Structure formats: structure tokens, C-alpha cells
């Protein structure tokens, strides 16, 4: 069997955490599964480095969305399936992405018919963001236009995973499931916690025993609602190196303060950052990964450095609702201030900042 699965879902919904949990479950139970990490921008993005730090052997597919690099995707799938004998290969798409049902599944079905078995098209959902399209119409600090993405992503799903149930009560879970079943009548719906690995076994069984439905869904791809939503988002990727002239510094605290400073500055400018990720690997092989899912939330440490550092290579990825120019300025200011606070020198060796509609990246 050579199954391929796309994992979609909004920024910060838990796609990467879910793929790592599913691969770990399958690999620990006598199977073989592999993860492709897809995002926009140059290589060396946080998800890829963090996945490797978690012990997951991944394949990075950077630059553009997988929707627009089918030949590259197929090369990687052939290697992972024919030479490395994976029975399941999964790939996420950038968290603002929609259209992979047509541009990946239907395209593979048309142009490589029969070569790959397509597993259910899977969409990971963050309950907090889902509330904005539920009857209660929760107001989060996000542009209205973004709701198009939440709806369109769900419309494509064969399998919907209500994630982060560790943060919910039983009654809340029931309420979300009821909504999802009515909104996505053609999809199977499972509640999971990717972080705590709850129900990953049930999802694995479902994926390995079901195929994609290959429905034809009109999500208005490229239309005015699509353009309005995508235009709200900017992408920012930076790699830098910080070092202290003598002694050591607390790398976990430094990175936390850097994320706080970025979040506060964005908030002052009435902007938001649906997903800000920072990653740094220390000399002892331990790493610090921080996620911030919006300026109104607390940052989360997904891992921490094990010892004080003399120097530290850092990767920052932000997916923000902010003009790219303003975002670049905020990033520079936040870095300068935090570096000063810890008496560090910083050498920035790579920065890219682009609006999501630039350069035809989506
Ligand atoms: N509480 C909780 N947090 C989660 C869960 N899954 C993911 N997260 C956190 O949500 C943040 C974003 O997750 P990530 O997998 O990077 O999202 P992605 O952008 O969709 O790939 C990280 O801080 C994760 O630790 C979950 O099941 N429960
Ligand atoms: Mg991710």
C-alpha cells in the first residue's frame, strides 16, 4: 500500500503536532509513516527543524505551496514510498492554504492515476477559531475576511479532526462536534488532542482503512473572497545568531521575551499574528520552540533548552495579519530591544517578508 494524505487546517490549528503524533503512533506499532513539511519561504523553517528535534525524520518542501509543485511532490513521494517503503506519507499545506483538494488530490488522480492511494483529505481544526463561524459568531482579533479560510478548509475535508480537546469540557466537545457534523455532512469527525496523543489510534485506523472521496467542491478558489482573505496575511521568515561577549545567558527567557516584544508591538499597531514560531537549538542538542497563536494569548513553550547558552542560532517564522513593511519594522525593533536587554550581539543572516499574494506563492 502507498497512501498519501494531505493535512490542511488554519495557522496554529495543530497540523504539525498531529502529523508528528500520527507518524510516531504508526512507526511505534509496526508500520512506517513519514512526514513532508510544506510551508512558504526559504528552507530551514521552524516546523522542519522542530520536527527533526522531536526525532521525526522529515522531508522539507519549502518555497511554494505543494499545490504548485506537483512534480517535486511526486519525486519525493516516489522516494519515500518506493525506496523507503513508507505505507503512509503525509504532508501539510501552508496554514492559509485552500485548494489542495483540487490542486493536489484531483491532479494526482488525473495525472498519476493509480500510482498513489489517496487517504482521506484531513483538516485539523482549532476550537477557538472555529467559534468564529459557529452560530455564536465569536469575535476574535482577526480580520473578518479570514473566516473565508476557515469555511473553505472545512468544505474540502473528508476527515475533520477537532483538535486541542485537552483544553475543553465534555459539553464543549459535544457542542463543537455537533456543529462540525452539520457543517461537514460528508466528512467523518473525530475529537483529538494531538499534544496528548488522544484518539490518534482511532484516527490512524480510520486513515489506513478509508480512501479519499475525491469530491468536487467549489470553494471559490481565486475569487473575491479568497483574494480578500489571502491579502490580509503576511509571511516573515528570519534566521539569526546571537551571542554574549562573556558568560552565558538564559536562552529560553531571551526567546520568550523576544516573542512577547513582537506580540506587544503588533498589538499596539492593531495587528495580529495567527501563528508566530521561534526555534533555537543549543550546543547540547536541546532546543527551545515557542508558539504564539495571537496577540491576545499567552505564548507556549513546546520545548526548552536544557542549559544556559553562550550563543544561539535562532529561526523566527511569523504569519501575521499586518502589512509586510510594518511587520518587518516591528521585527527589527523587537529584536534590537531584546538583544539589548540580554547584552547580546545579533547577526542576522537571512530575512524574507512577503505578502501572501506576492509572487504567486499560493
Ligand atoms: N493544548 C493543546 N495544544 C496543542 C495541541 N496541538 C497543538 N497544540 C499547540 O498549538 C500550537 C500550534 O501547533 P502546530 O502543530 O505548530 O500548528 P500548525 O500551525 O497547524 O502546524 C503549538 O504550540 C502546539 O503545541 C493540542 O492537542 N492541545
Ligand atoms: Mg505547522
Which cell is 246 given?
562573556
Quick check: CB of 164 below 6 Å from ligand 1?
yes
Provide the pLDDT for residue 356. 75
Quick check: CB of 291 below 6 Å from ligand 1?
yes
| pLDDT at residue 343 tops 70 | yes
Give the distance (Å) from ligand 1 centre to CA of residue 126: 9
Return the residue whose CA atom lies nearest to atom 23 of ligand 1. 291
Return the residue whose CA atom lies nearest to atom 25 of ligand 1. 302
Backbone phi and psi for residue 39, each to the nearest 5 degrees, phi listed first: -155, 170
At residue 361 the predicted structure's pLDDT band, cuts being 50, 70 and 90, is: very low
Question: Which ligand neighbours the alpha carbon of 10 most closely?
Answer: 1
Atom of ligand 1 nearest to the CA of 167: 1
Quickly tell me which residue has 508558539 as its cell. Answer: 291
Which cell is 292 given?
504564539
Give the distance (Å) from ligand 2 centre to CA of residue 248: 31
At residue 359 the predicted structure's pLDDT band, cuts being 50, 70 and 90, is: low
Quick check: CB of 16 below 6 Å from ligand 1?
yes
Please answer whether residues 159 and 9 qualify as being in contact, where contact means their C-beta atoms are separated by less than 8 angstroms: no
Give the distance (Å) from ligand 2 centre to CA of residue 11: 7
| SS3 per residue for the chain | CCEEEEEECCCCCCHHHHHHHHHHHHHHCCCCEEEEEECCECCCCHHHHHHHHCCCCEEEECECCHHHCHHHHHHHHHHHHHHCCCCEEEEECCCCCCCHHHHHHHHHHHHCCCCCEECCCEEEECHHHHHHHCCCCCCCCCCHHHHHHHHHHHHCCCEEEECCHHHCCHHHHHHHHHHHHHHCCCCEEEECECCCCECHHHHHHHHHHCCCCCCCCCCCCCCHHHHHHHCCCEEEEEEEEEEECCCCECHHHHHHHHHHHHHHHHHHCCCEEEEEEEEEECCCCCEEEEEECCCCCCCEEEECCCCCECEEEEEEEEEEECCHHHHHHHHHHHHHHHHHHCCEEEEEEEEEEEECCHHHCC
Compute CA distances 78 → 30, 75, 82, 89, 199, whole Å: 21, 5, 5, 10, 30
* Alpha carbon of residue 194 to chain centroid: 13
What is the sign of the dihedral through the CA atoms of 315, 319, 322 and 325? positive
Residue ranges and CATH numbers for the domains of the chain are 3-228 (3.40.50.300), 233-360 (3.30.70.260)
pTM value is 0.97
Atom of ligand 1 nearest to the CA of 124: 20
Atom of ligand 1 nearest to the CA of 198: 27
* Residues 6+ away with beta carbon under 8 Å from 300: 290, 291, 292, 293
Quick check: CB of 34 below 6 Å from ligand 1?
no
Return the residue whose CA atom lies nearest to atom 26 of ligand 1. 164
Give residue-wise pLDDT tens across range 139-192: 899 999 999 999 999 999 999 999 999 999 999 999 999 999 999 999 999 999
Give residue-wise pLDDT tens across range 193-222: 999 999 999 999 999 999 999 999 999 999
Q: Best mutation site among 150, 194, 197, 279 for ligand 1, i.e. most ligand atoms within 8 A of its Cβ? A: 194
Which cell is 135 given?
452560530
Judging by DSSP bridges, how do beta strands 159-162 and 88-92 pair with one another?
A: unpaired
Quick check: CB of 191 below 6 Å from ligand 1?
no
Quick check: CB of 12 below 6 Å from ligand 1?
yes
| pLDDT at residue 357 tops 80 | no
Amino acid at each position: 500500500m502507498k497512501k498519501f494524505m494531505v493535512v490542511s487546517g488554519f495557522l496554529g490549528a495543530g497540523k504539525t503536532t498531529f502529523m508528528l503524533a500520527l507518524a510516531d503512533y504508526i512507526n511505534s506499532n509496526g508500520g512506517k509513516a513519514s512526514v513532508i513539511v510544506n510551508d512558504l519561504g526559504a528552507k530551514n523553517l521552524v516546523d522542519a527543524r522542530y520536527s527533526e528535534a522531536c526525532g521525526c525524520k522529515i522531508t522539507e518542501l519549502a518555497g511554494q505551496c505543494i499545490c504548485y509543485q506537483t512534480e517535486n511532490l511526486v519525486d519525493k513521494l516516489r522516494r519515500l514510498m518506493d525506496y523507503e517503503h513508507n505505507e503512509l506519507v503525509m504532508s501539510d499545506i501552508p496554514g492559509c492554504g485552500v485548494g489542495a483538494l483540487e490542486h493536489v488530490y484531483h491532479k494526482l488522480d488525473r495525472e498519476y492515476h493509480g500510482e498513489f492511494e489517496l487517504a482521506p483529505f484531513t483538516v485539523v481544526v482549532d476550537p477557538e477559531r472555529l467559534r468564529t463561524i459557529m452560530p455564536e459568531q465569536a469575535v476574535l482579533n482577526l480580520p473578518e475576511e479570514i473566516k473565508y479560510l476557515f469555511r473553505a478548509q472545512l468544505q474540502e475535508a473528508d476527515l475533520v479532526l477537532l483538535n486541542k480537546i485537552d483544553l475543553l469540557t465534555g459539553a464543549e466537545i459535544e457542542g463543537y462536534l455537533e456543529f462540525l457534523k452539520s457543517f461537514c455532512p460528508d466528512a467523518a469527525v473525530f475529537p483529538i488532542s494531538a499534544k496528548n496523543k488522544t484518539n490518534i489510534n482511532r484516527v490512524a485506523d480510520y486513515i489506513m482503512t478509508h480512501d479519499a472521496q475525491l469530491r468536487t467542491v467549489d470553494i471559490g478558489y481565486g475569487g473575491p473572497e479568497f483574494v480578500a482573505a489571502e491579502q490580509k496575511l503576511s509571511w516573515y521568515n528570519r534566521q539569526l545568531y546571537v551571542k554574549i561577549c562573556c558568560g552565558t545567558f538564559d536562552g529560553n527567557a531571551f526567546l520568550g521575551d523576544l516573542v512577547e516584544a513582537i506580540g506587544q508591538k503588533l498589538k499596539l499597531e492593531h495587528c495580529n499574528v495567527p501563528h508566530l514560531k521561534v526555534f533555537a537549538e543549543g550546543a547540547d542538542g536541546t532546543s527551545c520552540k515557542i508558539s504564539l497563536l495571537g496577540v491576545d494569548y499567552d505564548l507556549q513553550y513546546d520545548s526548552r533548552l536544557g542549559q544556559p547558552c553562550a550563543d544561539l542560532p535562532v529561526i523566527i517564522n511569523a504569519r501575521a495579519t499586518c502589512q509586510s513593511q510594518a511587520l518587518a519594522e516591528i521585527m527589527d525593533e523587537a529584536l534590537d530591544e531584546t538583544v539589548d536587554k540580554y547584552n547580546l550581539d545579533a547577526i542576522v543572516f537571512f530575512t524574507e517578508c512577503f505578502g501572501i499574494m506576492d509572487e504567486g506563492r499560493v
